[in-house]
Amino acid sequence: MKVTEIRERGQALGMRGLAGLRKGEMIRAIQRAEGNQDCFGAAWRFDCPQLVCAWRADCLTKTPG
């Protein structure tokens, strides 16, 4: 997902101050705001049981952010 799309998703949740964050930091902030575990890019991500996650494709890359 592109950074602009991530910012838009955060803004839709009423979040402010995302512009100064890196991609991974933005995603983790959004995960917390949505009531989810802020696990994006965690070391154990390749064993993640969450198959239906909006961030999964980006998270499973070599350098998720």
Closest among 39, 43, 9, 8 to 24, alpha carbons compared: 39
pTM above 0.85, yes or no: yes
Residues with Cβ within 8 Å of residue 21, at least 6 apart in sequence: 29
pLDDT at 56: 94
Please give the pLDDT value at position 65.
79
- pLDDT, residue 6, reads 95
Mean pLDDT of 15-33: 94
